[in-house]
Structure 1
Amino acid sequence: MNKILDTPILATKFYVPPLRQDFLPRERLLKRLNESQNYPLTLISASAGSGKTTLLSEWVAASESPIVWISLDSDDNDPRQFLTYLFAAIGEIDKGIVENPSSSLKASAFESLDPILAELINNVAGNRDQLTVVLDDFHTITDENTNRLVVFLVDHIPQNMHLIISTRIDPSWPLARYRVGHRLLEIRGHHLRFTESEVSSFFQQILNKELTPTEIKAIAQRTEGWVAGLHLAALSMKNQADLADFINDFTGSHQFVAEYLVEEILEKTDPVLQNFLLKTSILERFNARLCEAVVGCGDAHEVLKSLSHQNAFLIPLDDHKEYFRYHHLFSDLLQARFSQTASINEVIDAHNKAAVWLEENDQIIDAVHHFLLGKNFQRAAQLVDEFGLKMIFSDRQNLLKSWLDALPEDFFSTLPRLEVFRLLIELIKGTLDMSESTLEDKEKLINSLPPSPENDRLKRRALVHLSMFLAFQNTGKAIQIANEAQKVISDEDDLLKAYLYSVFYRTYGMIGDVDRAADAYKESLRLSEKSGRLGMIANTTMIRTYDLCQYGRLDEASYYCERIIQAGDGKSDFYPAGPCLIGLAGVCLERDQIELAEQYLRRGLEICQKGALQGLFTGTVQSIRLRQAKGDFSGALKEYREFEKNFQRREFTQMTRKVSVLLSAGEFNEAYALVPEIENLLGGSSFSIQLPLIAVEVYKLCLARIKIVQSLFEEVSDLLDEIEVTVARDGRLGRLMEVNMLRGINLYKKGGMTISEPIITSILKALEIGEQSGYVRLLVEEGQVIRPLLNEIFTRRDVSPKIKHYASRLLASLGESSGLKEERQDFPVNGLIEQLTPRELDVLALLASGRTNQEIAADLVITIRTVKKHASNIYSKLNAANRTQAVIIAREKGLLPDL
């Protein structure tokens, strides 16, 4: 039996903690909590011992609506376990809402969990009955992905569903947005604190005696109405003859008050019970048999029964009172006292006794936890070695990583799978530092695993991830490893094969093998669609969009992105749509469709925030580029610096943007300082890798741009000659266009800003490619230095109207949106100080064709009023009185082709 993935769900986590017999009703808080049915989210946030769980238990007991309760703990940080319990708990209310979620969760090894959660949301919405979900002790959930899932649920929660969160610490969610949108009800510590009236009622009920108003005020002030402190005080007061003296001596912040009271309670407890409390405090949850194993007693059932009767901060986790936990604060203080009063060996012994019992009872995760705390690294390592593979394939890498980090290094040499687990986690997370160990060592490590079905499965996955990691760095080695993996992957494993062909696409693309890259992409897409799992291919499609744009195939780039997006049937939260929306934003940005690019980018980043790291990386690069396009150079630089902190990666696309941002912001010295780094990459590096062709071209273009500013014109010319050889041969039109434009700029600056025929020849080559493929932004990003070069095009009779019209579009887009800081200046185009916008050029062409305003509106999908507004702007800029004059002037200035 799978001791991790198939461990039965703990039903005790679904039980609402029963109310104490002496609990004090909180009518004012119940009224506030009743309002939760008017809000998607209710947040009960206060310190430990504030009565959050008791209040919720009281409210649930009085409620008539279906309520789901889940008591969370640190194990629920795993997103799949969290969702498993959420589905199971809701299934207890209505099994129709949840249909076999476990199979979907297990099958989602490489995918986002958003689609599974979206299905649950749709099912709840379709059910129409009101449903409230209580998540108690949410502060134990620290995993970013699990938090993101709950935010996703809140953002898309149906009207008939309500979420109540109980926590010690505010989650890092967009709470301000929820407040503004009236989507959040809050119950805070100050709400939960007992008023003096409640303190009076509380002590009267607990002690069966009335305190004086002075005593009530004193104890209320000193405990600050803190519920746990009041309970602890009441326990101590039971044996106090002089309450006034006790209260007068009862001082300090509630933390010290709690410590004092625990000592008072423990000191008045017999040593046998003290020993029981201290040793069992190491357990997060326990039953009598586990307590007996840890303490070494035979009467734990009676002890727990007695503690429960005494209300000694023992919280039952089920109706049968079989499983318990201590009040969190009480447990923390007991553990602190245990570590202070017991020897190290006693503490270690208690953890090991707990671990042995937990392992024997198939609670492997808790067993590993206690073996590690008990310094029994040998047994912990053996369990990690045995069950780590299941953790890898259930995507519980975070928990596995914490285990591996806790083990001494000695065990990694004796249990080689541990090292492979660690390598695979680094590959999956993209954190592998190749400078610390050679590639040969990593590959040798994977292949050194002794033959077995489990090891073979681990080896296949490790090889695929290693090859994908190397795709952008050492393409030859990546292809070699991918070929090895291909030989051992089962024909039935469509998803892993899709990953493999994605590797082939990325590697062949990086060496400029267009045909083989295209074939590999199509096969990866086919296998991904066959498996119904599009998360990975979405990232590859985003990369392909960038590649296709380099080849001038912007329409094809859009097609593949839209194909993936449409697979989501228009769902706004369709996970694979995120990277593809970012890909579409890149295409629109290339065409200078700024508003549309911004819309796609915003939607794409919202989706990718839920876990698509590659999408966030590329999307942030596009966001920086968008700022530059809008002329916000300082904002672009600021965003880039933040981006560099968040993404500790070295990729050629990142270097391209860095050089562009620094030059456009006027940070020339910082740009100059990049030259040695880039030259080192091109000449060899500490990674001992051979850069692929595409990366080499990009790095050389970066050098050329910097060296133009440094006036190193001959070096620039040599670099451009080298790049042109490969880009012309392989048909990378976008890069060829860049080369020609940079060559023109280099000659222009070398000649002292004098325009010569070689300059015009280079510029025309760039414009011909750009006009044919639809490029705008790639040329405009060169800055205001190209303005006089474009102006010169209008003076040439041998230049076609089509190219002149394209040059006009570039000038209109140029504006103040791009360029080196020192080079921004005004250059009129044939006397036009204010240029026609791209839309005005479209309207001008239709005016010249003789179309009516109504026909123009229909062609451009705008209103007639907007057409008239554009026409008025055109007349003003051309200094024309009417349509006829505007067309004549436009032809004279080369804005329209001659008749």
Structure 2
Amino acid sequence: MVERPRLTQRVQAGIQRPVTLVCAPAGSGKTALVATSVERAAWVTLEATEDEPGRLWDAVLTALDLAGAVPPDSALAGLAAPVNDSRDTFMPLLVNALAALPEPVVLVLDDVHVLRSRGCLAQLAFLLLHTPDTLRLVMTARSDPPLPLHVLRVRGRLEEIRATDLAFTRDEAKALLEAHGLTLEDELIEALHTRTEGWGAGLRLAALSLQGRDDPATFVAEFAGDDRVVADYLLAEVLDRQPPKLRAFLLRTSLVDRICGSLADALTGDTHGADTLAMLERTNGFVLGVDGHREWFRYHRLFGKLLRTRAERELHAKLATLHARAARWYAERCAAVEALEHAVLAGEHDLAVEVVAAHWFDLYVRGDAAAVRELLTKVPAERLERDAELSAALACAALDVGDTDSAELHMAHAEQADHPDSRRRRYLETMALAGLGIARLEGDFDAALRAADALLAEAATHAGPEEDGAREALVHAMLGETALWAHDLERAGQELHKAVAGARAHQLDYVAVSALSYLALHDVMLHGPADDQGHGQQAIELAARRGWCKIPQTACAHAALALHAFYDLRPADAAEHLERARGAAARLRRRQLDFVIAHLDARMHGAGGEPKLGIRVLDDYEALHRHHGPPLVYERGAVAAMRARLQIQDGALEEAALTLASVEDDRSMAVTAADARLALASGDPAEAVELLEPAGDQLAMHAVTRVETLVLLAISYHENGEPGRATRALEDALALAEGNRHRWPFLELGRPMEELLRHQIRAGTAHRALVGELLDAFADRAPATRHVAPLLEPLSEREQAILRYLPTALSNREIAAELFVTTNTVKTHLRSIYRKLDVARRREAVERARDLRLLSSRR
């Protein structure tokens, strides 16, 4: 053990504060540092089995007692760990008992990162925030635990020692080498220290290889070369120095990612696996414990890779047998993914099929369907096709990523294959799950309900309470997604909330990530940016904790966060989340999600003044899904409406009219609003009012859509010469936007809305702060200097005549009467005027004409 006084002093100074956290990756020396720095402490090495409040606090109370910190008359002596602390009474009792101790005690919680349950973390957080003066809490962890560390930092109650602190200095590296009997020249020590960057385990590996060498200079010189070559050379030197029996043990046990005593025995045929692993962990730097009670171990990544390479060469004839042993060991313990992986490597195809069939549902809800699908590509197709249950499982896996073509093929194989009576229940259950998956992709809620009922009914005949709960959580998640795509937001919210609760209760993180992700999109669709997007953040954070940062299920959460940021006028955040959503969705074939991303992407291009790019996004989306069946129920109208909006923005009014004519049977609000925009752009605000007034009275409309409708209606009233109605509609829109922070609908209407907002302040508004915020946003979006581009194509005499009427409140019909022409003639000339002035609507044409001095300035 190397003395490191700078760190010992840090720990000893730290325990003058209530809480000390030593946080760094494995192999950094966290536990050793605390053990050598604290002379007397109650020590708890946390294990996975203690991730339950009762067991955690039982271990803590026992450690305090063994450390001699509990006087006979102390309240701690009679305190028992809670079996079920539903009333949250235990923690206050514990804190009060600790506060009554006659002298301070140091409590060490080693490997606190193994705690993941909400109960343990909540109670530990309580202790952190209410630590009495008599307790000094020291925690070690491989990563920051989800505890209120930020609060402790602000209060000055936390001492932190991180990986950079634990890195060996040059002098400490020298001391470590000397502890291994190595005396090297300063430049060689410097070279080793630079190469390892002070990582303790790396220096220890170097020291092991240097022992007994006569040419340390040559070794160090080669050690400073290419990373991979150096690592392989170093580890080979360590391996070659092991006794033959231990060397054989290392090679055989390297075939699995993690190793424990009984698994080692299965692979080696010996009975001393646990003792050998414990010895290796104590004496070598390349075997690391991965759980609190040191039952499971792993090899250093580089060393493990080297061992597997050697094993493939030296044990080639035995590899299939060894993988088969591993597969059976895992299968007996229901570790299905590992069993399948090794069964495939062993060529044990029957075992692989049986493992998947027996554990399919658990694999599915734990997020392993994609891994199973990938592994089964190595099994001959004819073997898969003759198993009905497996074919049904593969259909579910395909549907999970939206691959309906493969799913239909697998379901056809399932229906044609034989299924023994003993496995009929599992077959029917898996087929019901596949049916639910198809209904989800098609947005067919009624079909989804039927499939869900069939799934739960079939499962009820043989599943236990735990399995029932897991199935219900999955069913609620899939029904919620289906309802979301069917635009039944109320039912979607109900189902998804149930899914999240069930997934958390049964520790189904994969289902929870998916349900939270869709719930985030539900929230922003229903409430706009008023929602705090907690569900989206929870989905992403949970996925990150599980190492699932790029799984497709996070795509919807990122899409929701992008939409939220867009509504809230944070374009940079919106673009970042949209890109992440697109990256995650690339692993899916989910038409609905592609639609959400493309629709928002197109709208953001329009907001950025790039309508042509937005139209191209919609073109690409339609081309991608042209051969994937008919459009979704809402898709055709929504895409046409967005395309028309972009065409209007681009001045292509005739194209916009044709686009909207293609969906004239669609009476959705999106299409109605687009029709109104076209009417405004064509100089016919009366028609826009006629279209929007019925929609504006629909109180059941979602808040987001209602804001957009009222804002558009206000502009229409204003341009139709109805200032009173315009003021009232705008006031209603402001009232809604005050609550849901939906800002963009105001800004996208440009200068006419800016003027209307200024008038609203003069007329008197109950929302002056919001109006001021919006006017500031208009100012931020305006160019610093204004350049008026010249008119490249002059207006005709008739166009100039019509232009003079545009500042008035006359409708197109009234202008036509004044000029003794038809209304259609006026509309035709207006389209030409807008094209030449490079504007999209009547008010913008007036402003542009005034800038060009084609009309007199406002009086």
Q: Name the TM-score class by shorter chain.
A: 0.5 to 0.7
| SS across alignment from 1:705 | helix
| SS across alignment from 1:723 | coil
Q: Among residues 665, 679, 691, which one is paired with 1:762 in the alignment?
A: 691
Partner in structure 2 of residue 825 of structure 1: 751
1:165 aligns with 2:134: no
The count of corresponding residues between Structure 1 and Structure 2 is 702
Moved more, 578-587 or 375-384: 578-587
Partner in structure 2 of residue 747 of structure 1: 679
Partner in structure 1 of residue 168 of structure 2: 193
1:805 aligns with 2:728: yes
1:134 aligns with 2:110: yes
Considering Cα pairs closer than 8 Å and 6+ residues apart, tell me whether 1 or 2 has the greater RCO: 1
Partner in structure 2 of residue 663 of structure 1: 606
- Relative to structure 1, the CA distance from residue 331 to residue 441 in structure 2 (aligned partners, 3 Å threshold; closer, same or farther) is closer
Decide whether the 8 Å contact of 1:351 with 1:370 is kept in 2: yes
1:778 aligns with 2:778: no
Decide whether the 8 Å contact of 1:314 with 1:327 is kept in 2: yes
Partner in structure 2 of residue 104 of structure 1: none
Decide whether the 8 Å contact of 1:479 with 1:507 is kept in 2: no
Matches within 5 A, 1:636-785: 636=574, 639-648=577-586, 649-651=590-592, 652-673=595-616, 685-689=626-630, 691-692=632-633, 694-706=634-646, 708-709=648-649, 710-712=652-654, 714-715=657-658, 718-719=661-662, 721-724=664-667, 735=669, 740-750=672-682, 753-755=683-685, 757-767=686-696, 769=697, 778=705, 781=708
**1:185 to partner: Cα distance:** 2.0
**1:805 to partner: Cα distance:** 1.7
Decide whether the 8 Å contact of 2:676 with 2:692 is kept in 1: yes
- Relative to structure 1, the CA distance from residue 665 to residue 452 in structure 2 (aligned partners, 3 Å threshold; closer, same or farther) is farther
1:605 aligns with 2:536: yes
- Relative to structure 1, the CA distance from residue 468 to residue 199 in structure 2 (aligned partners, 3 Å threshold; closer, same or farther) is same
| SS across alignment from 1:67 | strand
- Relative to structure 1, the CA distance from residue 663 to residue 121 in structure 2 (aligned partners, 3 Å threshold; closer, same or farther) is farther
Matches within 5 A, 1:316-715: 328=300, 331-332=303-304, 335=307, 338-339=310-311, 342=314, 344-353=316-325, 370-392=342-364, 404=376, 407=379, 409=381, 411-427=383-399, 430-434=400-404, 436-437=405-406, 439=408, 442=411, 445=414, 450=419, 456-457=425-426, 459-460=428-429, 463-464=432-433, 466-467=435-436, 470-471=439-440, 473=442, 475=444, 478=448, 481-482=451-452, 484-485=454-455, 488=458, 490=460, 533=502, 586-589=525-528, 597-598=529-530, 600-611=531-542, 620-621=558-559, 623-631=561-569, 636=574, 639-648=577-586, 649-651=590-592, 652-673=595-616, 685-689=626-630, 691-692=632-633, 694-706=634-646, 708-709=648-649, 710-712=652-654, 714-715=657-658
Give CA-to-partner distance per residue, 1:37-79, whole Å, 9 cap, x none. 6587835436x7554554466568x451342334xxxxxxxxx
Give CA-to-partner distance per residue, 1:354-376, whole Å, 9 cap, x none. 55666678887765554445454
Decide whether the 8 Å contact of 1:41 with 1:162 is kept in 2: yes
Take 1:317 and 1:826, find their aligned partners in 2: how far apart are those partners?
64
- Relative to structure 1, the CA distance from residue 606 to residue 375 in structure 2 (aligned partners, 3 Å threshold; closer, same or farther) is same
Take 2:451 and 2:342, find their aligned partners in 1: how far apart are those partners?
39
- Relative to structure 1, the CA distance from residue 250 to residue 41 in structure 2 (aligned partners, 3 Å threshold; closer, same or farther) is same
Take 2:304 and 2:166, find their aligned partners in 1: how far apart are those partners?
24
State the AA in 2 paired with 1:65: A
- Relative to structure 1, the CA distance from residue 615 to residue 394 in structure 2 (aligned partners, 3 Å threshold; closer, same or farther) is closer
State the TM-score, normalized to the length of structure 2: 0.62
Aligned residues with identical type, % of pairs: 16
Decide whether the 8 Å contact of 1:463 with 1:481 is kept in 2: yes
Take 2:28 and 2:607, find their aligned partners in 1: how far apart are those partners?
55
Take 1:457 and 1:465, find their aligned partners in 2: how far apart are those partners?
12
**1:336 to partner: Cα distance:** 5.5
State the AA in 1 paired with 2:632: L
Gaps of 5+ in 2: 63-79, 99-105, 132-136, 506-511, 544-550, 774-859
Decide whether the 8 Å contact of 2:393 with 2:430 is kept in 1: no
Decide whether the 8 Å contact of 1:748 with 1:759 is kept in 2: yes
Decide whether the 8 Å contact of 1:655 with 1:699 is kept in 2: no
Give CA-to-partner distance per residue, 1:329-383, whole Å, 9 cap, x none. 7953760572476153244454445556666788877655544454545544443
- Root-mean-square deviation (CA, aligned residues, Å) is 6.1
Take 1:402 and 1:364, find their aligned partners in 2: how far apart are those partners?
14
**1:722 to partner: Cα distance:** 1.0
Decide whether the 8 Å contact of 1:315 with 1:325 is kept in 2: yes
Gaps of 5+ in 1: 1-22, 71-80, 102-118, 537-572, 590-596, 728-734, 845-865, 871-899
Q: Among residues 684, 707, 717, which one is paired with 1:790 in the alignment?
A: 717
Take 2:687 and 2:231, find their aligned partners in 1: how far apart are those partners?
85
Decide whether the 8 Å contact of 1:471 with 1:478 is kept in 2: yes
**1:828 to partner: Cα distance:** 7.8
Take 1:824 and 1:187, find their aligned partners in 2: how far apart are those partners?
51
Q: Among residues 41, 44, 67, which one is paired with 2:44 in the alignment?
A: 67
Decide whether the 8 Å contact of 1:780 with 1:810 is kept in 2: yes
Decide whether the 8 Å contact of 2:484 with 2:522 is kept in 1: no
| SS across alignment from 2:46 | strand
State the AA in 2 paired with 1:607: Q
State the AA in 1 paired with 2:403: D
Partner in structure 1 of residue 765 of structure 2: 841
**1:184 to partner: Cα distance:** 7.2
Take 2:246 and 2:540, find their aligned partners in 1: how far apart are those partners?
50
Take 1:88 and 1:281, find their aligned partners in 2: how far apart are those partners?
33
| SS across alignment from 2:21 | strand
Decide whether the 8 Å contact of 2:676 with 2:687 is kept in 1: yes
Give CA-to-partner distance per residue, 1:659-718, whole Å, 9 cap, x none. 43333322221233356567779xx942335733x4444344335434545313643563
